[in-house]
Amino acid sequence: MKNYLTASISESAVRHNMAQLRRLIGPGVKLCPVVKDDCFGHGMDVLYPVLAELTDGFAVAAPLEALALRGKGYHGFILCFLSAYFDDFKIQDELVWQEITQTVMSTSALESIQAAARRVGKTARVHLKVDTGMGRLGVPARQAVALIEQINAADEVELTGIYTHFATADEAERSATFRQLELFRSIVAVAGGITRHAANSAATLDLPETHFDMVRPGIAVYGCHPSDHLTSTVELRPCMSVKAKLIAVKRIPAGGYSGYGLTHRYDRDSRVGVVPIGYGDGYFRNLSNKAVVRINGMDAPVRGRVSMDQMTVDVTDIPDVKVGDDVEVISSDPTAPNCVENLARLAGTIPYEITCHLGHNMRHELVD
């Protein structure tokens, strides 16, 4: 962690986003935010007290993420997306003992969870994941009913939910999503009175027919829209801003260069600032010569290649720039040129990747 890199997380923005999601899903649907990968890089340590107050449960990717939530004192519903049968027995047993709901997607996963339940002498609660067209994890749809019957017949294991995941809910063309939805409906019709869930951020925002009993929004909780065509569906407020300090200011004459490969030539006498952030900190190298940062409220273009732990910016047109000035690397203003969504466009990626990469090497603080 680098103390001179700070991610400020707005509590009011997160509360606003959660309220917007609550309004969309209505009172009968549970809200279970996805907090995997350290809340998509936003910092579980600072966000946990806020989210724990506002949520009906948490969804995580890995067993250790689930156990970490229990370690923070959370006693409510936790869904772990990945089965633990590749982990050692101690972790498998702890998941059952700590009453963490695990995902079953195969007979081998069921057998592993059942064995752990027997070792600790406690019933394991599970949700069945069905692959309805994502082509990734989940029991194939044609085998789902048989696996439901196996789970219901298993000792020490209780089936409490069933879910699927959409491959294209964030796209304007919805035919594939509706095919997945219809297939899921045909399976849950025979699953009995258990919790049904399917909606990710995009489906939560734009497809109310997918809400069922619970939704699992991810990036929307943190204020980013999952795709451009959904930006008008609901007002979300980005909660993260990232700041660094200017560590050097130097003059480069017209015709000079900065950075590896000498990819930017200055066509005038210029002042160049050095910012201590780079691709090792999650700031993408392919933002070189494309992105801007803000210093004293003014744009400073990134010039030259982004290095592992520093980059150079043109501060020629910003008066009174000095070492120690704050550098706004990422703005929480969704209209700013250095907001997460615009940086994702420049980098040819998605907001999820920007925030997840940036979160790991900096200090997080909760503000307002």
Q: Which residues are catalytic?
A: 36, 260
Cα of 261 vs its chain's centroid, Å? 34
Distance CA 158, CA 188 (A): 16
What backbone phi and psi angles, to 5 degrees, belong to 182?
-65, -40
Cα of 122 vs its chain's centroid, Å? 32
What backbone phi and psi angles, to 5 degrees, belong to 105?
-140, 5
In the chain, DSSP assigns E strands to 2-10, 30-31, 58-60, 78-80, 101-104, 124-131, 139-140, 157-163, 195-199, 214-215, 240-245, 248-252, 257-258, 264-265, 270-275, 292-295, 298-303, 311-314, 326-330, 362-367
> What is the 8-class DSSP label of residue 331?
B
Partners of 330 in the β-ladder: 242
The distance between the two most distant Cα atoms of the chain, rounded to a whole number of Å, is 77
Distance CA 222, CA 235 (A): 12
